[in-house]
Amino acid sequence: MVITLNRINRQYLEAIRQDKEKRKSITRNIFYISLLLVFATFMIDMILNTQATFVIMLVFCGISTLALITMLLLPLYTSEKPMYEVLISEIIKDINLNRQRNIDYQAFPKEKELFNRSGLYPKSTSKLNRFQMMLSTDYHTNINVFFTELFTQTDKSRVVYLKGLYLKFDTMNDQLFQIRSKGNEKHKGIKLKKEILEDKTRIFTEDLPVNETYLSLYKKLKDRYKQVEISGIDRQIHVSINHFFDFKKPKEISQEVYQSFYDKMIETIELIDEISEDISY
C-alpha cells in the first residue's frame, strides 16, 4: 500500500505541476501578445494621434497588466482537476479490484441532455460535471452517477441549483412526476398538478398519485441530506442530492487523505446500492 500511495502521490503532484505550467504558458502568451499590441497601437497613435488609438492602447495595457498579475499569482493556485483525474480515478480502480465492482469512471464529462430530460432544473443552466460513474447493482444496470454543478450566471449574480450527486436509474416507471424540496418543475410544454404537503414537500403529478416507493425514498433521503429532488419520467428515475460532496483539494496524497476520499466514494456507492434496492419493485 505504501508503494501504491507513493506512486499515486507522484502522479498527483506531477499533474499539478503540468496544469500550472500549462496555465502559465497560456498567460505568458497573452502577456507577450498584449505587450506587442500595446507597442503597435502606440506607434499608430504617434502617427495618427487620435483618441481612439489612445483608448485602445490603454485597453491593451490593462490586459498585459492583468496577465502579469495572474502569472505572479499562479504559484498560489492549485487546480481541482488532478483531484478528479488522478486521486479519485485511482480510488475507483482500487474499489473495482478489492470490492469486485465494475465501475466505469470519467473525469469532467460533457454530458448535458441527461439533466434536461428530468425537468428538475432549467434547461438554460450551465453544467459543470466533475466526474461520472456508470455502475450496476443487483437490481439495475448502467446507473449513471454524476458529481455535478448546475448554475446560471450573469455579470452580477450566480444562482447554483445543484452542486452534488445526481443519479439516473433505468426502471419500469411509467409516471411523470416530481418530488421536490423547493421550486417548481421545469418541463417544457407539460403542465403538472402541484400539491404541497404539511412538511413543505412539493409534489407534481399528472392524474395518478405518486407511487409510495418514491415518497418513502424521498423522505428517507431528505432526513439525511436535507435538499433532495426526485423526478420520474418514462422508464427512468432521476435523483439529486445537493451538497453531498465536500471535497477539498489536498496538497499531497497521504494515507489519511487517501482514506478520507476512499471512504466518501464507498459511502456514495453504498448509497446507490441502497436506492437501487429501494426502488426495485
Domain-by-domain residue ranges, the chain? 2-76, 81-278
Q: The pTM is what?
A: 0.82
pLDDT in single tens digits along all 281 residues of the chain: 555 888 998 988 888 888 777 776 776 666 666 666 666 666 665 666 666 666 666 666 676 676 666 666 655 556 889 999 999 999 999 999 999 999 999 999 998 889 999 999 998 899 999 999 999 999 999 999 999 999 988 877 888 999 999 999 999 898 899 999 888 888 887 888 898 888 889 999 987 888 999 999 999 999 999 899 999 998 999 999 999 888 888 989 999 999 999 999 999 999 999 999 999 86
* Three-class HEC string of the chain: CHHHHHHHHHHHHHHHHHHHHHHHHHHHHHHHHHHHHHHHHHHHHHHHCCHHHHHHHHHHHHHHHHHHHHHHHHHHCCCCHHHHHHHHHHHHHHHHHHCCCCCEEEECCCCCHHHHHHCCCCCCCEEEEEEEEEECCCCCCCEEEEEEEEEEECCCCEEEEEEEEEEEEECCCCCCEEEECCCCCCCCCCCCEEEECCCCCEEEECCCCCCHHHHHHHHHHHHHHCCEEEEEECCEEEEEEECCCCCCCCCCCCHHHHHHHHHHHHHHHHHHHHHHHHCCC
The pLDDT tens digits for 219-270 are 999 999 989 999 999 899 999 999 988 888 898 999 999 999 999 999 999 9
